[in-house]
A and B are shown apart, each in its own frame.
Chain A
Amino acid sequence: MADEPLILGIETSCDETGVGIVRGHTLLADALASSVEEHARFGGVVPEVASRAHLEAIVPTMDRALTEAGVTIADIDAIAVTSGPGLAGALLVGVAAAKGYALAAEKPVYGVNHLAAHVAVDTLEHGPLPEPAIALLVSGGHSSLLLVDDLARGVTPLGATIDDAAGEAFDKVARLLGLPFPGGPPIDREARAGDPAAIGFPRGLTAAKDLAAHRYDFSFSGLKTAVARWVEARQRAGEPVPVADVAASFQEAVCDVLTVKALEACRANGIETLVIGGGVAANSRLRAMAEQRAEKYGVRVRVPRPKLCTDNGAMVAALGSHLVAAGVEPSRLDLPADSAMPLTVVSVPGDVR
Protein backbone atom coordinates (compact mmCIF):
# COMPACT_ATOMS: atom_id res chain seq x y z
CA MET A 1 0.00 0.00 0.00
CA ALA A 2 1.40 3.36 -1.02
CA ASP A 3 0.44 5.06 2.25
CA GLU A 4 2.50 2.68 4.35
CA PRO A 5 5.81 4.13 5.54
CA LEU A 6 8.86 3.75 3.31
CA ILE A 7 11.78 2.77 5.55
CA LEU A 8 15.47 2.42 4.90
CA GLY A 9 17.57 0.10 7.06
CA ILE A 10 21.35 0.04 7.51
CA GLU A 11 23.25 -2.88 9.03
CA THR A 12 27.01 -2.94 9.79
CA SER A 13 27.30 -4.83 13.09
CA CYS A 14 29.65 -7.52 11.78
CA ASP A 15 31.11 -8.24 8.35
CA GLU A 16 28.08 -7.51 6.14
CA THR A 17 27.28 -4.02 4.90
CA GLY A 18 23.53 -4.12 4.33
CA VAL A 19 21.05 -1.56 3.07
CA GLY A 20 17.41 -2.59 2.85
CA ILE A 21 14.27 -0.73 1.88
CA VAL A 22 10.77 -1.77 2.86
CA ARG A 23 7.29 -0.31 2.52
CA GLY A 24 5.20 -1.58 5.40
CA HIS A 25 5.86 -5.33 5.34
CA THR A 26 6.90 -5.35 1.68
CA LEU A 27 10.56 -5.81 0.84
CA LEU A 28 11.64 -3.47 -1.97
CA ALA A 29 15.42 -3.80 -1.85
CA ASP A 30 18.04 -5.79 0.03
CA ALA A 31 21.55 -4.75 -1.07
CA LEU A 32 24.52 -6.40 0.58
CA ALA A 33 28.31 -6.18 0.45
CA SER A 34 30.33 -8.67 2.44
CA SER A 35 33.93 -8.69 3.61
CA VAL A 36 33.70 -12.37 4.56
CA GLU A 37 36.43 -13.40 2.13
CA GLU A 38 38.89 -10.97 3.67
CA HIS A 39 38.36 -12.67 7.04
CA ALA A 40 38.45 -16.27 5.83
CA ARG A 41 42.20 -16.71 6.21
CA PHE A 42 41.97 -15.55 9.83
CA GLY A 43 39.26 -18.10 10.66
CA GLY A 44 37.04 -15.38 12.12
CA VAL A 45 35.99 -11.77 11.59
CA VAL A 46 38.79 -9.23 12.09
CA PRO A 47 37.08 -6.11 13.47
CA GLU A 48 39.30 -3.47 11.85
CA VAL A 49 39.13 -5.21 8.47
CA ALA A 50 35.33 -5.23 8.75
CA SER A 51 35.18 -1.54 9.71
CA ARG A 52 37.36 -0.52 6.76
CA ALA A 53 35.22 -2.55 4.41
CA HIS A 54 32.01 -0.93 5.72
CA LEU A 55 33.37 2.56 5.01
CA GLU A 56 34.22 1.56 1.44
CA ALA A 57 30.95 -0.25 0.83
CA ILE A 58 28.30 1.96 2.36
CA VAL A 59 27.82 4.52 -0.44
CA PRO A 60 27.76 2.01 -3.33
CA THR A 61 25.51 -0.34 -1.35
CA MET A 62 23.08 2.52 -0.70
CA ASP A 63 23.10 3.37 -4.42
CA ARG A 64 22.25 -0.22 -5.31
CA ALA A 65 19.43 -0.40 -2.77
CA LEU A 66 17.82 2.84 -3.98
CA THR A 67 18.08 1.72 -7.61
CA GLU A 68 16.67 -1.72 -6.78
CA ALA A 69 13.70 -0.17 -4.96
CA GLY A 70 13.22 2.53 -7.59
CA VAL A 71 13.06 5.29 -4.98
CA THR A 72 15.19 8.26 -3.97
CA ILE A 73 16.24 9.09 -0.45
CA ALA A 74 13.82 12.03 -0.54
CA ASP A 75 10.95 9.49 -0.73
CA ILE A 76 12.07 7.74 2.46
CA ASP A 77 10.05 8.36 5.64
CA ALA A 78 12.64 7.21 8.19
CA ILE A 79 16.06 5.62 8.46
CA ALA A 80 16.73 2.73 10.85
CA VAL A 81 20.22 1.56 11.72
CA THR A 82 21.66 -1.21 13.87
CA SER A 83 23.15 0.66 16.83
CA GLY A 84 24.03 -2.53 18.75
CA PRO A 85 24.99 -5.11 19.77
CA GLY A 86 27.96 -5.96 17.55
CA LEU A 87 31.54 -4.93 16.81
CA ALA A 88 31.99 -1.39 18.13
CA GLY A 89 34.01 0.03 15.25
CA ALA A 90 31.84 -1.65 12.63
CA LEU A 91 28.60 -0.43 14.23
CA LEU A 92 29.96 3.10 14.34
CA VAL A 93 30.36 3.27 10.55
CA GLY A 94 26.71 2.36 10.04
CA VAL A 95 25.45 4.68 12.77
CA ALA A 96 27.49 7.61 11.41
CA ALA A 97 26.29 6.82 7.88
CA ALA A 98 22.65 6.70 9.00
CA LYS A 99 23.07 10.07 10.67
CA GLY A 100 24.74 11.51 7.58
CA TYR A 101 21.82 10.34 5.44
CA ALA A 102 19.30 11.54 8.02
CA LEU A 103 20.95 14.96 8.32
CA ALA A 104 21.29 15.56 4.60
CA ALA A 105 17.81 14.30 3.72
CA GLU A 106 16.24 15.77 6.88
CA LYS A 107 14.72 12.46 7.96
CA PRO A 108 14.31 10.87 11.41
CA VAL A 109 16.75 8.14 12.43
CA TYR A 110 16.05 5.12 14.63
CA GLY A 111 18.92 3.31 16.36
CA VAL A 112 17.70 -0.27 16.68
CA ASN A 113 18.69 -3.55 18.30
CA HIS A 114 20.23 -6.05 15.90
CA LEU A 115 18.57 -9.03 17.58
CA ALA A 116 15.12 -7.49 17.50
CA ALA A 117 15.73 -6.85 13.80
CA HIS A 118 16.43 -10.58 13.31
CA VAL A 119 12.94 -11.20 14.70
CA ALA A 120 11.28 -8.39 12.72
CA VAL A 121 12.61 -9.55 9.36
CA ASP A 122 10.19 -12.46 9.40
CA THR A 123 7.30 -10.00 8.99
CA LEU A 124 8.55 -9.41 5.43
CA GLU A 125 7.97 -13.05 4.68
CA HIS A 126 5.03 -14.08 6.86
CA GLY A 127 3.29 -10.80 7.73
CA PRO A 128 2.65 -9.34 11.18
CA LEU A 129 4.05 -11.39 14.04
CA PRO A 130 1.52 -12.71 16.57
CA GLU A 131 2.55 -11.49 20.02
CA PRO A 132 3.63 -12.92 22.31
CA ALA A 133 6.00 -15.16 20.38
CA ILE A 134 9.19 -17.02 21.20
CA ALA A 135 12.25 -16.16 19.13
CA LEU A 136 15.33 -18.32 18.74
CA LEU A 137 18.23 -16.29 17.33
CA VAL A 138 21.29 -18.24 16.37
CA SER A 139 24.32 -17.02 14.45
CA GLY A 140 28.09 -16.74 14.63
CA GLY A 141 27.72 -13.91 17.11
CA HIS A 142 24.63 -14.74 19.13
CA SER A 143 22.51 -17.60 20.49
CA SER A 144 19.50 -16.28 22.32
CA LEU A 145 16.04 -17.34 23.28
CA LEU A 146 13.61 -14.45 23.69
CA LEU A 147 10.06 -13.87 24.71
CA VAL A 148 8.69 -11.28 22.30
CA ASP A 149 5.86 -9.51 24.12
CA ASP A 150 5.97 -6.32 22.11
CA LEU A 151 8.45 -6.06 19.27
CA ALA A 152 8.15 -2.28 19.21
CA ARG A 153 8.88 -1.69 22.87
CA GLY A 154 10.55 -4.56 24.60
CA VAL A 155 11.50 -8.19 24.50
CA THR A 156 12.37 -10.42 27.44
CA PRO A 157 15.56 -12.44 27.26
CA LEU A 158 14.94 -16.01 28.43
CA GLY A 159 18.35 -17.51 27.83
CA ALA A 160 21.57 -17.27 25.85
CA THR A 161 24.76 -19.16 25.27
CA ILE A 162 27.10 -19.26 28.26
CA ASP A 163 30.17 -19.79 26.06
CA ASP A 164 30.37 -20.09 22.25
CA ALA A 165 27.65 -18.93 19.88
CA ALA A 166 26.05 -21.73 17.86
CA GLY A 167 27.50 -20.38 14.61
CA GLU A 168 30.95 -20.21 16.19
CA ALA A 169 30.71 -23.93 16.97
CA PHE A 170 29.90 -24.56 13.29
CA ASP A 171 32.96 -22.50 12.27
CA LYS A 172 35.27 -24.32 14.66
CA VAL A 173 34.05 -27.79 13.77
CA ALA A 174 34.30 -26.95 10.07
CA ARG A 175 37.90 -25.93 10.57
CA LEU A 176 38.60 -29.17 12.40
CA LEU A 177 37.18 -31.10 9.45
CA GLY A 178 39.11 -29.05 6.89
CA LEU A 179 35.97 -27.32 5.62
CA PRO A 180 35.90 -23.61 4.66
CA PHE A 181 34.85 -20.56 6.73
CA PRO A 182 32.10 -19.74 7.52
CA GLY A 183 31.37 -23.29 8.61
CA GLY A 184 27.56 -23.40 8.52
CA PRO A 185 26.94 -24.05 4.81
CA PRO A 186 29.70 -26.67 4.28
CA ILE A 187 28.67 -28.62 7.39
CA ASP A 188 25.04 -28.56 6.27
CA ARG A 189 26.17 -29.85 2.87
CA GLU A 190 28.44 -32.61 4.24
CA ALA A 191 25.83 -33.68 6.79
CA ARG A 192 23.37 -34.60 4.07
CA ALA A 193 25.50 -37.62 3.19
CA GLY A 194 26.17 -38.56 6.82
CA ASP A 195 24.44 -40.48 9.59
CA PRO A 196 23.21 -38.11 12.33
CA ALA A 197 23.16 -41.01 14.80
CA ALA A 198 26.69 -42.22 13.98
CA ILE A 199 28.32 -40.51 16.96
CA GLY A 200 26.57 -39.56 20.19
CA PHE A 201 27.92 -36.09 20.83
CA PRO A 202 26.93 -34.34 24.09
CA ARG A 203 23.91 -32.02 24.38
CA GLY A 204 25.07 -29.08 26.53
CA LEU A 205 22.96 -27.92 29.50
CA THR A 206 20.26 -30.53 29.04
CA ALA A 207 21.04 -32.69 32.09
CA ALA A 208 18.60 -32.34 35.00
CA LYS A 209 21.23 -30.70 37.23
CA ASP A 210 22.00 -28.05 34.57
CA LEU A 211 18.38 -27.33 33.76
CA ALA A 212 17.72 -25.88 37.20
CA ALA A 213 20.03 -22.92 36.61
CA HIS A 214 20.17 -22.91 32.80
CA ARG A 215 16.76 -23.94 31.60
CA TYR A 216 16.93 -21.80 28.45
CA ASP A 217 20.68 -21.28 28.18
CA PHE A 218 22.98 -22.94 25.69
CA SER A 219 26.53 -24.21 25.80
CA PHE A 220 28.42 -25.32 22.72
CA SER A 221 31.98 -25.29 23.99
CA GLY A 222 31.80 -28.83 25.40
CA LEU A 223 30.32 -30.12 22.16
CA LYS A 224 33.08 -28.49 20.15
CA THR A 225 35.72 -30.10 22.38
CA ALA A 226 34.01 -33.48 22.17
CA VAL A 227 34.10 -33.31 18.37
CA ALA A 228 37.78 -32.33 18.47
CA ARG A 229 38.62 -35.24 20.79
CA TRP A 230 36.74 -37.71 18.64
CA VAL A 231 38.43 -36.52 15.43
CA GLU A 232 41.88 -36.47 17.00
CA ALA A 233 41.48 -39.96 18.42
CA ARG A 234 40.64 -41.19 14.93
CA GLN A 235 43.62 -39.40 13.43
CA ARG A 236 45.99 -40.77 16.07
CA ALA A 237 44.77 -44.26 15.41
CA GLY A 238 45.64 -43.69 11.76
CA GLU A 239 42.03 -44.12 10.72
CA PRO A 240 40.24 -41.90 8.20
CA VAL A 241 37.82 -39.30 9.61
CA PRO A 242 34.27 -39.86 8.33
CA VAL A 243 33.62 -36.18 7.64
CA ALA A 244 29.97 -36.59 6.64
CA ASP A 245 29.12 -38.60 9.78
CA VAL A 246 30.93 -36.18 12.09
CA ALA A 247 29.21 -33.22 10.42
CA ALA A 248 25.78 -34.86 10.61
CA SER A 249 26.20 -35.97 14.24
CA PHE A 250 27.51 -32.57 15.32
CA GLN A 251 24.72 -30.75 13.51
CA GLU A 252 22.17 -33.11 15.05
CA ALA A 253 23.43 -32.32 18.56
CA VAL A 254 23.23 -28.54 17.98
CA CYS A 255 19.78 -28.65 16.40
CA ASP A 256 18.47 -31.02 19.06
CA VAL A 257 19.37 -28.68 21.91
CA LEU A 258 18.16 -25.56 20.11
CA THR A 259 14.77 -26.96 19.18
CA VAL A 260 14.13 -28.72 22.48
CA LYS A 261 14.78 -25.56 24.48
CA ALA A 262 12.89 -23.28 22.09
CA LEU A 263 9.82 -25.50 22.09
CA GLU A 264 10.00 -25.94 25.86
CA ALA A 265 9.91 -22.13 26.12
CA CYS A 266 6.80 -22.11 23.93
CA ARG A 267 5.11 -24.80 26.01
CA ALA A 268 5.98 -23.26 29.38
CA ASN A 269 4.69 -19.84 28.31
CA GLY A 270 1.67 -21.12 26.42
CA ILE A 271 2.92 -19.61 23.17
CA GLU A 272 2.04 -20.89 19.72
CA THR A 273 4.52 -19.03 17.54
CA LEU A 274 8.24 -19.72 17.26
CA VAL A 275 10.38 -17.47 15.05
CA ILE A 276 13.88 -18.61 14.18
CA GLY A 277 16.45 -16.14 12.87
CA GLY A 278 20.18 -15.54 12.50
CA GLY A 279 22.64 -17.22 10.16
CA VAL A 280 22.22 -20.67 11.74
CA ALA A 281 18.49 -20.50 10.94
CA ALA A 282 19.58 -21.07 7.34
CA ASN A 283 20.63 -24.59 8.39
CA SER A 284 18.36 -27.09 6.67
CA ARG A 285 18.34 -29.59 9.54
CA LEU A 286 17.39 -26.93 12.10
CA ARG A 287 14.42 -25.89 10.01
CA ALA A 288 13.25 -29.45 9.40
CA MET A 289 13.68 -30.56 12.99
CA ALA A 290 11.94 -27.49 14.41
CA GLU A 291 8.94 -27.94 12.13
CA GLN A 292 8.69 -31.64 12.82
CA ARG A 293 8.87 -31.28 16.61
CA ALA A 294 6.68 -28.16 16.74
CA GLU A 295 3.75 -30.08 15.38
CA LYS A 296 3.56 -32.08 18.61
CA TYR A 297 3.35 -28.87 20.62
CA GLY A 298 0.83 -27.19 18.33
CA VAL A 299 3.40 -24.49 17.63
CA ARG A 300 3.74 -22.71 14.30
CA VAL A 301 7.37 -22.25 13.25
CA ARG A 302 8.25 -19.19 11.21
CA VAL A 303 11.66 -19.11 9.55
CA PRO A 304 12.40 -16.49 6.90
CA ARG A 305 14.21 -17.58 3.75
CA PRO A 306 17.98 -18.06 4.21
CA LYS A 307 18.99 -14.73 2.69
CA LEU A 308 16.89 -12.90 5.27
CA CYS A 309 18.25 -15.03 8.15
CA THR A 310 21.83 -13.87 7.79
CA ASP A 311 22.67 -10.23 8.59
CA ASN A 312 21.20 -7.75 6.12
CA GLY A 313 19.73 -4.27 5.85
CA ALA A 314 16.18 -5.49 5.17
CA MET A 315 15.83 -6.78 8.73
CA VAL A 316 16.73 -3.36 10.11
CA ALA A 317 14.27 -1.69 7.75
CA ALA A 318 11.60 -4.22 8.79
CA LEU A 319 12.07 -3.34 12.46
CA GLY A 320 12.14 0.38 11.60
CA SER A 321 8.86 -0.02 9.76
CA HIS A 322 7.34 -1.75 12.79
CA LEU A 323 8.54 1.05 15.09
CA VAL A 324 7.16 3.81 12.84
CA ALA A 325 3.82 2.02 12.58
CA ALA A 326 3.72 1.69 16.38
CA GLY A 327 4.35 5.42 16.80
CA VAL A 328 7.70 5.02 18.54
CA GLU A 329 9.79 8.22 18.76
CA PRO A 330 12.97 8.35 16.69
CA SER A 331 16.43 8.51 18.29
CA ARG A 332 18.45 11.70 18.58
CA LEU A 333 21.43 12.75 16.47
CA ASP A 334 23.83 11.96 19.33
CA LEU A 335 22.78 8.29 19.02
CA PRO A 336 25.77 6.17 20.06
CA ALA A 337 26.90 2.81 18.74
CA ASP A 338 26.51 0.40 21.66
CA SER A 339 28.43 -2.84 21.20
CA ALA A 340 26.76 -4.31 24.30
CA MET A 341 23.23 -3.00 23.70
CA PRO A 342 20.89 -4.97 25.98
CA LEU A 343 18.09 -7.04 24.52
CA THR A 344 15.52 -5.14 26.51
CA VAL A 345 16.21 -2.06 24.37
CA VAL A 346 14.52 -2.42 20.97
CA SER A 347 15.30 1.12 19.84
CA VAL A 348 17.29 3.93 21.43
CA PRO A 349 14.76 6.39 22.83
CA GLY A 350 14.72 9.98 21.61
CA ASP A 351 13.64 13.02 23.59
CA VAL A 352 10.67 12.34 25.79
CA ARG A 353 8.06 14.88 24.87
Chain B
Amino acid sequence: MLVLVVDSSTPAVTAALVEVSADGVALRAHRCTVDARAHGELLAPEVDAVLAEAGARPADLAAIVAGLGPGPFTGLRVGLVTAATMGQVLGVPTYGVCSLDGIGHPVAAGEPVLAVSDARRREVYWAVYDGAGQRIAGPEVSAPAVAAERARDLAATVAVGDGAHRYADVLGLPVRAEPRFPDPLELARLAAERIRAGAPGERLTPLYLRRPDAVASIARKPVLP
Protein backbone atom coordinates (compact mmCIF):
# COMPACT_ATOMS: atom_id res chain seq x y z
CA MET B 1 0.00 0.00 0.00
CA LEU B 2 1.35 3.38 -1.00
CA VAL B 3 1.29 5.86 1.89
CA LEU B 4 2.17 9.57 2.01
CA VAL B 5 3.97 10.81 5.12
CA VAL B 6 4.26 14.50 5.99
CA ASP B 7 5.82 16.27 8.94
CA SER B 8 6.22 20.02 9.45
CA SER B 9 6.71 20.12 13.21
CA THR B 10 10.36 21.18 13.04
CA PRO B 11 12.44 23.31 10.64
CA ALA B 12 12.71 20.15 8.49
CA VAL B 13 9.78 20.22 6.08
CA THR B 14 9.33 16.58 5.12
CA ALA B 15 7.30 14.58 2.61
CA ALA B 16 7.85 10.91 1.85
CA LEU B 17 6.18 8.08 0.01
CA VAL B 18 6.42 4.68 1.64
CA GLU B 19 5.23 1.23 0.69
CA VAL B 20 3.54 -0.56 3.57
CA SER B 21 3.44 -4.32 3.05
CA ALA B 22 2.66 -7.28 5.27
CA ASP B 23 6.29 -7.68 6.27
CA GLY B 24 7.56 -4.14 6.45
CA VAL B 25 7.67 -0.50 5.46
CA ALA B 26 9.94 0.63 2.63
CA LEU B 27 10.87 4.15 1.55
CA ARG B 28 9.92 4.93 -2.05
CA ALA B 29 10.74 8.65 -2.27
CA HIS B 30 11.74 11.33 0.19
CA ARG B 31 12.13 15.12 0.25
CA CYS B 32 13.28 17.17 3.20
CA THR B 33 14.23 20.85 3.33
CA VAL B 34 15.40 22.54 6.50
CA ASP B 35 13.93 26.04 6.55
CA ALA B 36 11.97 27.19 9.57
CA ARG B 37 10.35 30.06 7.68
CA ALA B 38 9.02 28.45 4.52
CA HIS B 39 6.85 25.47 5.48
CA GLY B 40 3.96 26.83 3.47
CA GLU B 41 6.04 27.21 0.31
CA LEU B 42 7.98 23.97 0.58
CA LEU B 43 5.61 21.19 1.51
CA ALA B 44 3.23 21.03 -1.47
CA PRO B 45 6.04 20.96 -4.08
CA GLU B 46 7.71 18.20 -2.02
CA VAL B 47 4.53 16.12 -2.04
CA ASP B 48 4.28 16.68 -5.78
CA ALA B 49 7.94 15.67 -6.20
CA VAL B 50 7.73 12.41 -4.22
CA LEU B 51 4.66 11.38 -6.19
CA ALA B 52 6.43 12.14 -9.46
CA GLU B 53 9.59 10.33 -8.40
CA ALA B 54 7.61 7.21 -7.53
CA GLY B 55 5.60 7.48 -10.75
CA ALA B 56 2.41 7.63 -8.68
CA ARG B 57 -0.79 9.63 -8.85
CA PRO B 58 -2.50 10.99 -5.72
CA ALA B 59 -5.32 8.50 -6.33
CA ASP B 60 -2.81 5.67 -5.77
CA LEU B 61 -2.45 6.62 -2.09
CA ALA B 62 -4.02 4.25 0.43
CA ALA B 63 -3.46 6.39 3.52
CA ILE B 64 -1.75 9.52 4.79
CA VAL B 65 0.38 9.74 7.93
CA ALA B 66 1.10 13.12 9.53
CA GLY B 67 3.37 14.17 12.37
CA LEU B 68 1.06 15.83 14.92
CA GLY B 69 3.87 17.82 16.54
CA PRO B 70 4.50 19.20 19.04
CA GLY B 71 6.03 22.05 17.07
CA PRO B 72 5.82 25.77 16.40
CA PHE B 73 2.17 26.34 15.51
CA THR B 74 2.27 28.07 12.15
CA GLY B 75 4.59 25.55 10.50
CA LEU B 76 2.97 22.57 12.20
CA ARG B 77 -0.44 23.45 10.77
CA VAL B 78 0.89 23.32 7.20
CA GLY B 79 1.55 19.58 7.40
CA LEU B 80 -1.72 18.82 9.14
CA VAL B 81 -3.92 20.84 6.83
CA THR B 82 -2.15 19.34 3.80
CA ALA B 83 -2.75 15.81 5.09
CA ALA B 84 -6.34 16.50 6.12
CA THR B 85 -7.37 18.13 2.84
CA MET B 86 -5.69 15.48 0.69
CA GLY B 87 -7.29 12.74 2.78
CA GLN B 88 -10.67 14.40 2.33
CA VAL B 89 -10.40 14.56 -1.46
CA LEU B 90 -8.96 11.07 -1.85
CA GLY B 91 -11.30 9.48 0.66
CA VAL B 92 -8.39 7.77 2.42
CA PRO B 93 -7.75 7.57 6.16
CA THR B 94 -5.35 9.99 7.85
CA TYR B 95 -3.33 8.83 10.84
CA GLY B 96 -1.49 11.04 13.30
CA VAL B 97 1.76 10.16 15.04
CA CYS B 98 3.53 12.24 17.70
CA SER B 99 6.44 13.79 15.78
CA LEU B 100 8.87 13.24 18.67
CA ASP B 101 8.24 9.49 18.30
CA GLY B 102 9.84 9.78 14.87
CA ILE B 103 13.01 10.98 16.60
CA GLY B 104 13.07 8.96 19.84
CA HIS B 105 11.64 5.61 18.80
CA PRO B 106 14.36 4.62 16.32
CA VAL B 107 17.14 5.40 18.81
CA ALA B 108 15.79 3.38 21.74
CA ALA B 109 17.85 0.18 21.93
CA GLY B 110 17.90 -1.14 25.43
CA GLU B 111 18.39 2.18 27.23
CA PRO B 112 15.92 5.04 27.76
CA VAL B 113 16.19 7.99 25.35
CA LEU B 114 15.30 11.68 25.58
CA ALA B 115 13.97 13.12 22.30
CA VAL B 116 14.08 16.90 22.01
CA SER B 117 13.00 19.48 19.45
CA ASP B 118 13.25 23.25 19.59
CA ALA B 119 10.18 25.06 20.89
CA ARG B 120 11.71 28.57 20.56
CA ARG B 121 11.48 31.07 23.44
CA ARG B 122 14.30 29.12 25.15
CA GLU B 123 12.08 26.08 25.61
CA VAL B 124 12.03 22.58 24.14
CA TYR B 125 9.42 20.02 23.19
CA TRP B 126 10.49 16.68 24.61
CA ALA B 127 9.52 13.09 25.39
CA VAL B 128 11.28 10.12 26.99
CA TYR B 129 11.24 6.58 25.54
CA ASP B 130 12.07 3.34 27.31
CA GLY B 131 14.59 0.84 25.94
CA ALA B 132 11.91 -0.68 23.70
CA GLY B 133 10.96 2.67 22.17
CA GLN B 134 7.75 3.10 24.13
CA ARG B 135 7.04 6.70 25.13
CA ILE B 136 7.07 6.89 28.94
CA ALA B 137 6.97 10.69 29.42
CA GLY B 138 5.83 13.62 27.33
CA PRO B 139 5.26 15.13 24.96
CA GLU B 140 5.76 18.27 26.99
CA VAL B 141 7.07 21.77 26.51
CA SER B 142 9.40 23.24 29.12
CA ALA B 143 12.79 24.78 29.77
CA PRO B 144 15.65 22.44 28.73
CA ALA B 145 16.69 22.12 32.40
CA VAL B 146 13.28 20.70 33.30
CA ALA B 147 13.50 18.18 30.46
CA ALA B 148 17.01 17.24 31.64
CA GLU B 149 15.80 16.61 35.18
CA ARG B 150 12.91 14.41 34.06
CA ALA B 151 15.20 12.49 31.70
CA ARG B 152 17.62 11.86 34.56
CA ASP B 153 14.77 10.61 36.78
CA LEU B 154 13.77 8.20 34.01
CA ALA B 155 17.38 7.01 33.58
CA ALA B 156 17.79 8.26 30.00
CA THR B 157 21.34 7.65 28.81
CA VAL B 158 21.24 9.49 25.52
CA ALA B 159 19.50 12.47 23.94
CA VAL B 160 18.46 12.86 20.31
CA GLY B 161 16.93 15.48 18.03
CA ASP B 162 17.70 18.99 16.87
CA GLY B 163 16.80 20.39 20.28
CA ALA B 164 19.28 18.02 21.93
CA HIS B 165 22.09 19.40 19.76
CA ARG B 166 21.08 22.93 20.56
CA TYR B 167 20.82 22.47 24.32
CA ALA B 168 23.46 19.74 24.76
CA ASP B 169 25.16 21.62 27.65
CA VAL B 170 22.00 21.95 29.69
CA LEU B 171 20.78 18.42 28.99
CA GLY B 172 24.09 16.88 30.10
CA LEU B 173 23.59 13.71 28.05
CA PRO B 174 25.55 12.33 25.11
CA VAL B 175 23.79 13.38 21.91
CA ARG B 176 23.08 10.94 19.12
CA ALA B 177 23.82 12.52 15.72
CA GLU B 178 20.72 11.17 13.92
CA PRO B 179 17.84 11.50 13.48
CA ARG B 180 17.88 15.21 13.99
CA PHE B 181 14.31 15.61 12.77
CA PRO B 182 11.28 13.27 12.66
CA ASP B 183 12.13 10.32 10.40
CA PRO B 184 9.22 9.77 7.97
CA LEU B 185 9.94 6.04 7.64
CA GLU B 186 9.70 5.76 11.40
CA LEU B 187 6.43 7.73 11.49
CA ALA B 188 5.05 5.31 8.88
CA ARG B 189 6.23 2.28 10.89
CA LEU B 190 4.44 3.64 13.94
CA ALA B 191 1.20 3.86 11.97
CA ALA B 192 1.75 0.64 9.99
CA GLU B 193 -0.45 -1.56 12.13
CA ARG B 194 -3.38 0.81 11.71
CA ILE B 195 -2.69 1.11 7.98
CA ARG B 196 -2.57 -2.66 7.42
CA ALA B 197 -5.72 -3.18 9.47
CA GLY B 198 -7.54 -0.46 7.53
CA ALA B 199 -8.34 1.19 10.86
CA PRO B 200 -10.62 4.23 10.66
CA GLY B 201 -8.67 7.42 10.12
CA GLU B 202 -8.48 10.05 12.82
CA ARG B 203 -8.99 13.77 12.80
CA LEU B 204 -5.50 15.29 12.87
CA THR B 205 -5.40 17.30 16.09
CA PRO B 206 -2.15 19.22 16.55
CA LEU B 207 -0.17 18.79 19.75
CA TYR B 208 0.11 22.50 20.47
CA LEU B 209 0.97 22.09 24.19
CA ARG B 210 0.78 25.87 24.57
CA ARG B 211 -2.22 28.14 24.73
CA PRO B 212 -2.53 30.89 22.14
CA ASP B 213 -0.97 34.20 23.08
CA ALA B 214 -4.17 36.06 23.64
CA VAL B 215 -4.29 38.90 26.07
CA ALA B 216 -7.74 40.13 27.00
CA SER B 217 -7.75 43.79 26.15
CA ILE B 218 -7.45 45.94 29.24
CA ALA B 219 -9.94 48.58 30.31
CA ARG B 220 -10.06 51.53 27.97
CA LYS B 221 -7.78 54.42 28.80
CA PRO B 222 -9.56 57.77 29.11
CA VAL B 223 -8.66 60.33 26.44
CA LEU B 224 -9.52 63.37 28.53
CA PRO B 225 -6.73 64.62 30.77
Contact = CB atoms under 8 A, between A and B. Distances in A.
Contact of A175 (B48, B86, B89, B220): B220
B78 interface: yes
Interface residues on A, range: 35 or more
A236 B38 CA distance: 53
Contacts of A105: 58, 89
A289 B83 CA distance: 48
Contacts of B217: 42-44
A102 B220 CA distance: 46
Given A43-B217, A229-B224, A100 B42 contact: no
A69 interface: no
A55 B81 contact: yes
Give me the 7 closest cross-chain CB pairs, A-B, nearest first. Answer: A100-B85, A48-B212, A104-B89, A99-B44, A104-B86, A46-B214, A43-B217
Given A96-B43, A176-B220, A52 B84 contact: no
A233 B212 CA distance: 37
A271 interface: no
Interface in A249-269: none
A55 B77 contact: yes
Nearest to A226: B223
7 contacts: A44-B217, A51-B73, A51-B77, A55-B206, A93-B81, A176-B220, A225-B223
Interface string A57-91: 01100110000000001000000000000001100
Contacts of A341: none
Given A41-B216, A46-B214, A55-B80, A96 B224 contact: no
B196 to A, nearest CB: 22
Given A97-B85, A99-B82, A103-B47, 16 more contacts: A44-B217, A46-B212, A48-B214, A52-B73, A55-B77, A62-B88, A73-B89, A96-B77, A97-B81, A100-B81, A101-B89, A104-B89, A176-B220, A332-B45, A334-B44, A337-B40
A51 B47 contact: no
